[in-house]
Chain A
């Protein structure tokens, strides 16, 4: 039997301990999301129940206040009254642009880095690693004043360009390691046949690189979707995306019941991520390990 199965025997104490640990972990990893999803259809008095936590499950107050055990009031309040749909649209736009531009710029650089054995290619990668370590907020504090001066603060294109740039170090590292796995003979023979380097890249390499490009694209998507710092500080109120919008709910939801708007918004923003992991689990696992396994 190969590898992992034989690490833990079929019936050993080690296996039992590991499985108990795994069960505890799985409960910790999933229950918070299920709990919040369930609770988002209740009223505040149930989800944040002072008397009895079981109220959140059976919805005692929800039945009293709305006549039904489930209510969509939180969703209606968030999406319509507080115009969460606008934030969702902005997020969609930002994420789409960031992912496509990141991939366009990143594949070019990643390919060149994988095909050059010069010293400067090595140093460029090390530089990118250092850039990868920079906390995003330190960079944002460098942008604000120049962006005010140039009058480009607050609009979506600015946030998109910044997110693409912040994304680059990670993108070129990942694509570089994927391109390394494509044999050099492929583009070299294309060039012998008369292709330029760019034609070889465009017509020969990219078609066999789709899996790597998709994986990298997923991570660009996640970075743009999950970002809080850049979008919270570089976008004005009208252009807010979902994550800063949710953060802004918190300051204003002291009124009774309005905190359920935030709960509904949180669930709404989490659903696309769940769908993404559901469909692209293999690519995400592959991407997270790409850096480690290949160097």
Chain B
């Protein structure tokens, strides 16, 4: 295809992606280097005939508005927002490292800082949900291949539901069931004989509930991809393994799993990207007291009509983007290498 024709075809799509994906990334970088103008205060003296005069501070709305209108981005602040307590908290970290009661104390106090709290949960969620969902999806796929053909359609339908349903809604459904007056929450209280057991009361239980939700939500994706992969396992290889005396598990271990291995890379890449942006379950579970994520921190800065913290949200967004880049780096490097090899060969 000629370059000119190619450009004509891709122009609308590329224009949309540049305008609404690339430019916003530039926009958050610029915004993160500025801070909003504070309200302009003025001293107003009110005098009454008998009480004398008092001065008080008032917000000068017109001055504030005109200042904000002249410089909508706010005042240039450099890295100030990045280093403050709600983000990288350099001063606080320095203080903690200088004066502490051992490593446990350091970890606990750093975890109390909002950004590191969000980062800790985001990473734990991403790196627990991803592998567990992959393994669970593999076993579901194996199970489905063991079901008679006529039942497979309905079984696949049922298995897809947790993935297809709106994340906010799926999380709400689980939230209502795990509450102390929901069926799972109440049953757990009976099972452990502990009427005070609330899944949302302790940080550990909150984390576990959210991660279990994540696995529930993501397993179907891994399942579907593995299921498609299982359809193409070469049957003669399996048969020769059987003739060589391999039992079922050995066949799975030495024939099926190697055949599916390339799919794992693909599933892992998609799951890492999607889990890293975890937000909806935290909103649905109202879990912010015990678990926040990077996306939630941004959402929290922006949600609501008044006093949106654009600079703070932008700084967290930039830090999140860096996180995504680090996450993608291995697979991007591999793609780049294979692309160069292909180029060298041709």
> A: which residues have CB within 8 A of B?
1-9, 12-15, 18-19, 21-22, 25-26, 28-30, 32-33, 35-36, 47-50, 53, 56, 104-106, 108-109, 111-113, 115-116, 118, 120-122, 124, 126-146, 148-149, 161-162, 164-166, 168-169, 172, 197-198, 201, 222, 225-226, 228-229, 232-233, 243, 246-247, 250, 262-263, 266, 269-270, 273-274, 276-278, 281, 284-285, 288-289, 291-293
Closest to B148 in A: A5
A138 x B317 contact (CB < 8 A): yes
Q: Could you tell me the distance in whole angstroms from the C-beta of A71 to the nearest C-beta in chain B?
A: 17
B205 in contact (CB, < 8 A): no
Contact A277 B157 (CB under 8 A): yes
Q: Which A-chain residue is minimally distant from B266 (CB atoms)? A: A292
Would A165 and B17 be within 8 Å (CB), given that A143-B24, A232-B303, A281-B157 are in contact?
Answer: yes
Question: Which of B48-56, B102-110, B231-239 lies at the interface?
Answer: B231-239
The residue that B248 contacts in the complex, of A14, A32, A108, A126, with Cβ under 8 A, is A14
Q: Which of B1-31 contact A (CB under 8 A)?
A: 1, 3, 5-6, 8-10, 12-14, 16-17, 19-28, 31
Chain B residue nearest to A187 (CB atoms) is B1
Q: How far is the CA of A29 from the CA of B23 in the complex (A)?
A: 40
Partner of A109, one of B12, B221, B302, B303: B12
B contact patch SS? helix
Q: Does B86 contact A (CB under 8 A)?
A: no
Check if A53 sits within 8 Å of B183, measured CB to CB.
yes
Q: A109-B10, A131-B22 are in contact. List 11 more A-B contacts (CB 8 A).
A: A6-B239, A25-B140, A33-B161, A36-B176, A105-B13, A121-B6, A137-B298, A141-B316, A243-B168, A277-B161, A278-B157
Contact A108 B144 (CB under 8 A): no
Instruction: Pick the interface stretch among B37-45, B90-98, B306-314.
Output: B306-314
A129 to B43, CA, bound (A): 55
Measured between alpha carbons, how far is A108 from B14 in the docked complex, in Å? 11
Q: Are B17 and A142 in contact (CB under 8 A)?
A: no
With a cutoff of 8 Å between Cβ atoms, the chain A residues found around residue B294 in the complex are 135
Interface string of B139-159 (1 = CB under 8 A from A): 110111111000001011111
Q: What mask results when residues 246 to 265 of chain B are scored 1 for a CB within 8 Å of chain A, else 0?
A: 00110110001000000100
Q: Max chain A CB contacts within 10 Å: which of B23, B145, B174?
A: B145
A285 CB to closest chain B CB, in angstroms? Answer: 5
Choice from A28, A120, A269 contacting B169 with Cβ under 8 Å: A269
Q: How far is the CB of B136 from chain A (nearest CB, A)?
A: 7
Q: Do B143 and A22 touch (CB < 8 A)?
A: yes
Q: Are A137 and B317 in contact (CB under 8 A)?
A: yes
- State whether A293 touches B147 (Cβ < 8 A): no
Residue of A whose beta carbon sits closest to that of B272: A133
- Report which of B228, B299, B320 forms a contact with A293, defined as CB distance below 8 A: B228
